[in-house]
Amino acid sequence: MAKQVKFLQGNEAVCEGALYAGCRFYAGYPITPSTEVAEILAAKLPKVGGRFIQMEDELAAMAATLGGSIAGKKSLTATSGPGMSLKMENLGYGYLTEIPCVIVNVMRGGPSTGLPTGPGQSDVMQARWGTHGDHPCIALTPSTVQEQLNETVRAFNLAEKFRMPVLLLTDEIIGHMREAVEIPEPGELEVIDRKRPTCDPKDYLPYKPEADGVAPMADFGSGYRYHITGLNHLPDGFPSNDGKLAQADEIRQQKKVDDHYDEIVHVEELLCDDAEILIFAFGSTARSAKEAVQLARAEGIKVGLFRPLTIWPFPDKHLAKYRGKVKRVIVPEMNLGQTALEVERVMRGMPEVEGIFQIDSEPINPITILNKIKGGK
């Protein structure tokens, strides 16, 4: 049977992916270029038994998203620009308390309200380090409208499996473009649900991890009573000032991601086997980079594209195999060099990393990248 194909906007595809993954709660506050996610889910969630709440601000929206998840519903929020900054305090709470949820950041220019509402890719480091303290981070970077759907499903799966917030870092270009999207049949894509306790409620410890570093999570209201606090805590959830315990627990949280690098980190490597020049690009910029690579190849230039679908954890292991192998590495990105710093860390000067950094709210076009490949400025 032929697959169902829809002509979807990128933000619309996020909604399709969220519903496919089992999302049944959305809390948000409208801000372009993410607003369509809220508008569409406000209409669709009630039809599948879900709930939609427009909160009074972004802080409350993040808090409500965490609350929805604690109550047992797969939960989503979406935002852009300064809205993401406002979510940071409660996002940190979500990390320490290990509450699974998905946060969609449709990146635009900045800081502050910046240039609304042009595209940007300046929230890469904010995604990793924007909230205070040490914590693991998973952030996905789709480049097509199809990937907006598929990676949203994957974001929910990772959030549920590793019991933590997961970020979908998209941008205004992909969020607002339209492409043909194959709608997966039920069961075609894997859908993961969180582990729930099977023990007697009186024996339940909400922060006692199993062998994979993840503790089962009970739904509030299901008979399992437990305490949640933003303070470092004991396995029963109650606060503790034991520094050694806090250190061990935060290391455990980091390891539950680090130990599953191969499962979490996805990349696309296009024409890289014989490449002398490597282009590292993500999101909408990777679309221009792919076109530039094809144009360069047509001129006999050996260039390849390295495209991370997972930007955090950074794809060190995948990228390191090109250290000392390629002659040049070029990083085009719509910021002033945030990802290039990570690429430099991995390449260790072998070779030096060259950047194309642009923050004028215009996309980096393929000819700009092609000229850089050919040695132009």
Distance CA 335, CA 357 (A): 6
Confidence class for position 377, pLDDT limits 50, 70, 90 = very low
CA dist 308 and 292 (Å) reads 17
* Locus of tokens 């209201």: 221
Segment 136-178, tens digit of pLDDT: 999 999 999 999 999 999 999 999 999 999 999 999 999 999 9
What's the predicted TM-score (pTM) here?
0.97
SS3 per-residue string spanning 132-177: CCCCCCCEECCCCHHHHHHHHHHHHHHHHHHCCEEEEEEEHHHHHC
pLDDT digits (tens, 9 = 90+) for 261-301: 999 999 999 999 999 999 999 999 999 999 999 999 999 99
Distance CA 53, CA 207 (A): 29
Per residue in 81-98, pLDDT tens? Answer: 999 999 999 999 999 999
Q: What is the pLDDT of residues 305-337, one digit of tens each?
A: 999 999 999 999 999 999 999 999 999 999 999
Q: What is the token pair recorded at 345?
A: 């860390």
pLDDT value of position 3: 84
Query: Is the per-residue pLDDT at 80 higher than 50?
Result: yes
Average pLDDT over residues 68-91: 97
Segments in 34-123 forming alpha helices (H): 35-44, 58-70, 82-97
Pairing of strands 74-79, 139-140: unpaired
pLDDT in tens, 185-236: 999 999 999 999 999 999 999 999 999 999 999 999 999 999 999 999 999 9
186 Cβ contact partners less than 8 Å away, ≥ 6 residues apart: none
**Region 334-360: what's the mean pLDDT?**
97
- Residue 117: pLDDT band by 50, 70, 90 thresholds? confident
Q: Could you give all domains of the chain from N- to C-terminal order, each with its CATH number?
A: 5-182 (3.40.50.970), 268-374 (3.40.50.920)
Q: Structure tokens of 226?
A: 């437990």
Element (H, E) at 74: strand 74-79
Res. 115 pLDDT band, cuts 50 70 90: confident
pLDDT (tens digit, 9 = 90+) per residue, 144-154? 999 999 999 99
The fraction of the chain above a pLDDT of 90, given in percent, is: 96
The Cα diameter of the chain in Å comes to 70
Sole residue written with tokens 């998840």: 69
In this prediction, residue 376 carries a pLDDT of: 57
Decide if 176 contacts 145 (C-beta within 8 A): no
